[in-house]
Amino acid sequence: MWETSTTLGAICQRLHTARRIVVTTHVKPDGDAVGSAAGLVRALNQSAWGASPGNATRPRACAWFFGPPPPWLGAVCGDTPYTLVPKTGPVCNAEDEPDAIVVVDTGSWSQLEIIAEWLSPRRDRIMVIDHHAQGDSDLSDARYIDTASAAACQPVAELCRLLLRAPSLGALPKDIATLLYLGMATDTGWFRHSNVGPSVMHAAADLLAAGADHARLLQETDQNSPARLGLIARALESLEFHHNGQLALLTLRREDFERTGATSGDSGGLTDFTQSVPSVRVSAILSEALPSDFGPDAGTRTVTKVSLRSKAIDPTADVNAIARTLGGGGHVRAAGARCDAPIDEVRQRLIELVGKGLSSQV
């Protein structure tokens, strides 16, 4: 079952004794993935156990990212040790072989496809920290799952506090607080989404007190390139409404990316535009992609990515349940899937599923 099987304290103890640590996350990392992975790496390297035994200058923890990286990755991570894993998968020599692996902001094999073959024989070293309602329990026996958290950075922040023996989140170093704040801010839509609650606001306030730079993060990460603006225009041209205006559907084909020069990373957050329509209860975007965008080239056929978001206003729909029907998952209010089917076929299936989801709540 996808549920917590350990504590943050137990994970902290395991990390104390680890000589080499890899912290990784899902394909196409977003703000929460980057913030939780890079923030934890910084905490591990700044703790009393931060240097590799026998090599006081070499940090023992490194973040691994894969899939299309966000354009702001380097600016936000700064001097945090990280590597971009190639599509062919990781190459790890004997010197770099980790004895502890932490997976943050996901627990699904499908989101770890590029490194899945590498991870599988190292399962006994893997620890998972996640906040999603669905995952694969066979990824690790050591799982900390907090579905009440708005972002993975919330439990990761507490782990960082334990690692550094800080009395509160407000006492964390500024460079760590800034990364953790990024995850909380972006996974709540800069505190606009329905997952905002007292716990994430209290945690974010503590991180601001620690020196997290809200203005700089907003400037670095919430920007639009000319290519993204072109993609937004094409997405809005495709806008359709279904079920009496309760479903807003955007569609992006490969041609849209090619003509605008945009990448898959430029499509994030497009559902926020349609969430502002009063009648809309579910916002969805369908995007065509190649399998090679996520891992080793599997041919030239296209796959369809589905991103869903729902409002916490009746009638509403459980988009996690809808995404699970399509082979994905996530949260009740935000979820996604990747379908090995043509975009028009997925579009029709999605319209039907959302209609059923909305009608079941009436």
154, containing H or E segment: helix 153-164
Task: Please determine, for residue 360, whether its predicted confidence score (pLDDT) is greater than 80.
Answer: no
Give me 194's structure tokens. 């329905």
Portion of the chain with pLDDT greater than 70, in percent? 93
- Residues 6+ positions from 76 with CB-CB distance below 8 Å: 34, 35, 38, 179, 182, 217, 220, 221
Task: Please determine, for residue 334, whether its predicted confidence score (pLDDT) is greater than 90.
Answer: no
Portion of the chain with pLDDT greater than 90, in percent? 72
Using CA atoms, how far apart are residues 284 and 277, in angstroms rounded to an integer? 13
The pLDDT score that the predictor gives to residue 49 is 59
Tens of pLDDT, residues 29-88: 999 999 999 999 999 999 865 554 444 457 899 999 998 888 899 999 999 999 999 988
Task: Please determine, for residue 159, whether its predicted confidence score (pLDDT) is greater than 70.
Answer: yes
Using CA atoms, how far apart are residues 99 and 73, in angstroms rounded to an integer? 26
CATH architecture of 226-359: Roll (3.10)
The pLDDT score that the predictor gives to residue 237 is 96
- Residues 6+ positions from 305 with CB-CB distance below 8 Å: 264, 286, 287, 288, 289, 336, 337, 338, 339
Give me 53's structure tokens. 């035994």
Closest alpha carbon to 284 in 342, 230, 225, 343: 343
Task: Please determine, for residue 90, whether its predicted confidence score (pLDDT) is greater than 60.
Answer: yes
126: helix, coil or strand?
A: strand
- Break the chain into its structural domains and give their ranges: 8-221, 226-359
**Same-fold call for 8-221 versus 226-359:** no
Higher-confidence residue of 301 and 242: namely 242
Tens of pLDDT, residues 178-236: 999 999 999 999 998 889 999 999 999 999 999 999 999 999 998 788 999 999 999 99
The pLDDT score that the predictor gives to residue 248 is 96
The pLDDT score that the predictor gives to residue 53 is 47
User: Within a 10 A sphere around the Cβ of 244, how many other Cβ atoms?
Assistant: 9
Fold classification of 8-221 is inorganic pyrophosphatase (n-terminal core) (3.90.1640)
The pLDDT score that the predictor gives to residue 165 is 96
Using CA atoms, how far apart are residues 180 and 185, in angstroms rounded to an integer? 9
The pLDDT score that the predictor gives to residue 95 is 77
Beta strands 334-339 and 100-104 are unpaired
CA of residue 49 relative to chain centroid, distance: 27
Mean pLDDT of the chain: 90
The pLDDT score that the predictor gives to residue 291 is 62
